[in-house]
Structure 1
């Protein structure tokens, strides 16, 4: 039975869900704008699974988004539950943090990165095989979309928009409803080198790593050449990664954890059985 905990003896309060279970520990890290509930449908047999709300998300406290401080938050969860050297599984932003965690902790037995390699809004060279003029036009359009989204997160949500967010990601202030994370956190993450391209850092990871990349466009971007070129760039830059890194493609979109939880559970369980002990 999952058990929710608030860790209060840290720089900020940290909300954690302990899924219990026997076996080696696995720490689960959600993506940007998500919450620990993203992992509720993932069943990892034979593992002790623990998920957390990242700072500025869900029921965890607010604090500046600095990557080392976020890793300190993860350290606090590991220490609180006595997880020792857990495997780390992360989706999107959480996958990027898994890579950074493995670089900080050479003793980490294994990590899994679920499409957490590179922001869709990226350098032109990361969209190979696309007409430059069309590419630049699409990138400008994508930037405008993300600019508008970030601006909207700074204001109260209209009633009709609240259903787009998990209840855990909503907060009430002065009679208005706001979504977390706020615009300051989004801005800090959006242009960080770690968020824009994690692949160079992935190459520095010494433990076993499983990378799962999607074959379908994210919702709202279907049919565009930009996302097809983006995937080509990812494949290009993963083609010669070190042998400790395994790459799998999954018939899903960026939202693969919600779309294919059973398939991901099978991949992760099989991978960890061979690499995390």
Structure 2
């Protein structure tokens, strides 16, 4: 494995070439994540692909810059061009999955793309199937308050005690899903940045706010309706422990989203929707082996 920095305009992008003798594949982490957390999964995909993992702009060791779908698409073009990746497949987790969906919509030469539970943020009552308007509105407001509190934690400089507390909380969270401690530590430390003596977590508040805004505005259905590139959308079927206080909201959202995606898949055979039994949004950590097999099987069939 080798790490390198590739420039996309003025933004430096940190990438890790995991290697492999197969066709090229770009692997993208989610919001708040980075390439270090995806190295074990990349190692499984390496059996069939040459895998390159990318820190999205504003995350990990990549630089900051305006965050929008066009800019991130240009970042991936720069990576593919610099590393001479001819028509790479793109696989993304969460936010990275939404980026993969945009890539598939914009690049007809792409042999296939995979979106691993990258779904727009629930923000409207009509997205919550089975909840009345009053309950849906209240639950959405309660969820927004939690997100706002979390965003505040990324905004302020951290003391050494706070860094230790955040690190311990991160390790405890991922341990529940089975991620090795050394991987979790590498991923956590990669998102720490020292700025003038102050320690902060990445992504910064401006990037985080912009990403949340883009995810709230996103509707995948129009993208998927016009797909000319094969795309696999893998859906979680279980709540994360952190989502369980909002079990009714997330259950209602999954029902609505699953129904809409199924309708598009019935009309456009290039889209395949696969609810993954027993898996949560942390599916890459929970069941990496079966998930890698699913991705390899799908991409192998569409090449």
TM class by smaller structure: over 0.9
Number of equivalenced pairs: 274
| Alignment partners' CA distance in 2, 1:235 and 1:8 | 38
Given that 1:219 and 1:253 are in contact with CA atoms closer than 8 Å, whether structure 2 keeps it comes out as no
Match of 1:38 in 2: 37
Match of 1:171 in 2: 193
Report runs of 4+ in structure 1 exceeding 4 Å deviation. none
Match of 1:235 in 2: 258
Report matched runs for 1:197-236 at 5 Å: 197-222=219-244, 224-236=247-259
Deviations 1:98-126 (A, max 9, x none): 1111121111110000011221x322111
Q: Secondary structure at the match of 1:31?
A: coil
Aligned-pair CA distance for 1:203: 2.1
Match of 2:270 in 1: 244
Match of 2:182 in 1: none
Q: Secondary structure at the match of 1:227?
A: helix
Richer in helix (by share): 2
Corresponding residue to 1:190 among 183, 191, 212: 212
Q: Secondary structure at the match of 2:40?
A: coil
Aligned-pair CA distance for 1:249: 1.2
Given that 1:38 and 1:257 are in contact with CA atoms closer than 8 Å, whether structure 2 keeps it comes out as no
| Alignment partners' CA distance in 1, 2:127 and 2:201 | 31
Taking a change above 3 Å as real, the CA distance of residues 265 and 195 of structure 1, as seen in their structure-2 partners, is farther
Unaligned 5+ runs, structure 2:
171-186
TM-score (norm 2): 0.86
Match of 2:280 in 1: 253
Deviations 1:144-171 (A, max 9, x none): 0111111221102323114436110111
What is the aligned-residue RMSD (CA, Å)? 1.6
Taking a change above 3 Å as real, the CA distance of residues 9 and 226 of structure 1, as seen in their structure-2 partners, is closer
Match of 2:141 in 1: 140
Deviations 1:186-209 (A, max 9, x none): 111112267643232222221111
Taking a change above 3 Å as real, the CA distance of residues 140 and 211 of structure 1, as seen in their structure-2 partners, is same
